[in-house]
Amino acid sequence: MEADEQLYPIAILIDELKSDDVTLRLNSIHRISTIALALGPERSRDELIPFLHESLDDEDEVLLALAEELGVSFVEYLGGPAHAHLLLGPLENLAAVEETVVREKACDSINQIADIMNEQQVQDHYLPLLKRLSSGEWFTSRTSAALLFAAVYEKVPLAMRTDMHNMFVTLCMDETPMVRRAAARDMSALIKRMSPEVIVNDMLPLYRRLSTDDQDSVRLLTVQDLVAMAEKLGPAETQQLLLPSICATFQDKSWRVRYMAADHFVQLASAVDENVIKEDLVPAFINLMRDAEAEVRTAAAGQIPGLAKLLDQTTIIERLLPVTKELADDLSQHVRGALAAQVSALAPLLGKEATTEYLLPLFLQLLKDEFPEVRLNIISRLEQVNEVIGIELLSQSLLPAIMTLAEDKQWRVRQAIIENIPLLAHQLGVKFFDEQLSGLCMSWLGDTVFSIREAATVNLKKLTEVFGVEWARQSIIPKVLQMSSHPNYLYRMTTIFAVTTMSQSLDSDTIINFILGALLNMVQDPIPNIRFNVAKAFEALIHELESSPAGVLVIKDQIVPALQTLHDDRDADVRYYAQRALQAAQAL
């Protein structure tokens, strides 16, 4: 009987894994660590691992779960790191399946296990696995092999590294593009663990072969290998050995390769000296900024500040800025958006005079762009410019543009400006806002378009969060409440919307002493729409006040009587919303 009980966990697992129900099989895999704990280390090594090794014919979802479960955390159930190599068997099989996600997760688990294996385990178990995968009949195993070199490279004795190099060379020369792509993808991780001498002798020839591959999907992945080599080698060696390759990458016939080169431009430029950058790389960068493909220009725009840090001010002004201005007129909104996100970072490099002369016109142009993302990217990064030229000069330049956009005939343009105002206020400060923008924000509350009025109320809430409740008490709330007695019912309606929205950012004292009175006065408003929105506002205030003892008292003494009045209203909608608010009050 005792023996039968010992077999119970493994028997249950076998039955569940043979089930036709995928969910059941998946759940059993997720419980595999519990089963291993019940079996104990010895039986897990002798029975569970061999069983898993032979039971790998299942749905991809189940195999993925198994690849994840058999990671480094499972080693403790086998008795510790001394037995970690036992997991390599089932993981090797998972690393050769057809589904990419399963293979990658299996390789990830193998690399985790490699970290806790000693050198002897690596020699006896890991290297044979690497050799089998590298020479596997199916390309799936060979693509997985490329992921597994870097993790153990430093644990392999020098005498055995030649074999590793030869295996990697085989992958780089594989006839299947997917394998060469995997080798190109994972070469950089291996390079980071190698000495400069080995890189030059062994990796550089492989890089040159892959960087001229007939498949652009392979070539584009070699850009990161080039970066890794440039970072490991000194400037002199990089200039001597890699500069031709760097320049060739920028001129590749495939836009996808040029995109990757543009995206890594600063990393490549950082590896050579300033003269090489000026003579060879700046012209290449200008070509990328003028590339026929918008994606390449977008990537290049993102590299402008990083490259500018490697250049003197004269070079920036004379060579970089003219092409930068061309991007501000680019037909692609994504290019202009990328430029708007980066161009502010040039201000600290140029100084006050040059920023005023060259960058401010560019900011103004981008601030008027038809696409909201471009405007947002400019506004969200004005702090860098503010630190260089000062708030007065910046506000003098920007305010006319903001005012123009705020009154644009297209309501969507006005809405975009409203949505950016809290960000702009945070950048420029409370004094500037009160003097220049406060009146503008209040004017939006009376806009003829409902969406603008709605956005304006949300804007006030966000401004309260930026500047604080005390500021709202003094600067915003009195102006909002003035509209509660306006002859036009739309203004009175906007007051209700504004205070309801703002209440989420206000404390209970402010709501009680400043907001509540205006709403109570509107209970008798002649317009039914006003009255039922007052009821809805009361419901919102109840939720804001219920956590405060003073708030609960106000709800019972002032809000509930007002709601009872509304509950007897002749309009059905008013009665409905009053009843709903009363239920919220009664739930306290």
Give the CA distances from residue 61 to residues 7, 14, 54, 139, 158, in Å, rounded to whole numbers and listed in that order: 27, 18, 17, 21, 40
Amino acid identity at 238: T
Give the CA distances from residue 438 to residues 390, 434, 441, 445, in Å, rounded to whole numbers and listed in that order: 20, 5, 5, 12
Give the CA distances from residue 290 to residues 280, 284, 297, 322, 544, in Å, rounded to whole numbers and listed in that order: 16, 10, 7, 11, 55
How would residue 11 be classed by pLDDT, with cut points 50, 70 and 90? low
Convert the pLDDT of each residue in 198-210 to its tens digit: 999 989 999 999 9
What is the mean pLDDT of the segment spanning 360-389? 81
Cα separation, 56 vs 50, in Å, equals 11
How would residue 368 be classed by pLDDT, with cut points 50, 70 and 90? confident
**Rama region for 15: left / alpha / beta (φ>0; ψ in -120 to 50; rest):** alpha
Q: Cα-flanking dihedrals φ and ψ of residue 507, to 5°?
A: -85, 170
User: Percent of the chain at pLDDT above 90?
Assistant: 31
pTM summary value: 0.71
What is the mean pLDDT of the segment spanning 215-233? 92
Using the predicted structure, report yes or no on whether residue 515 has a pLDDT greater than 50: yes
Cα separation, 116 vs 149, in Å, equals 15
CB-neighbour burial class of residue 337 (10 A; exposed 0-12, middle 13-18, buried 19+): buried
Predicted local confidence at residue 12, as pLDDT: 63
Domain 1-117 and domain 507-587, same fold? Reply is yes
Predicted local confidence at residue 191, as pLDDT: 92
| DSSP reduced 3-state for 267 | helix
How would residue 4 be classed by pLDDT, with cut points 50, 70 and 90? very low
Least confident segment among 250-254, 260-264, 282-286, 582-586: 582-586
**Which of the listed CATH numbers 1.10.3120, 1.10.357, 1.25.10, 1.10.20 matches domain 507-587?**
1.25.10
Cα separation, 286 vs 301, in Å, equals 10
Into which CATH architecture does domain 1-117 fall? Alpha Horseshoe (1.25)
Give the best-scoring range by mean pLDDT among 48-52, 71-75, 201-205, 432-436.
201-205
Domain parsing of the chain, residue ranges: 1-117, 507-587
Tokens of 255: 């836009």
End-to-end CA distance of the chain: 60
Cα separation, 383 vs 424, in Å, equals 9
Sign of the C-alpha dihedral computed for residues 530, 533, 539 and 545 taken in this order: negative
Predicted local confidence at residue 19, as pLDDT: 60
Using the predicted structure, report yes or no on whether residue 469 has a pLDDT greater than 50: yes
438 against 403, higher pLDDT? 438
Tokens of 189: 């991780």
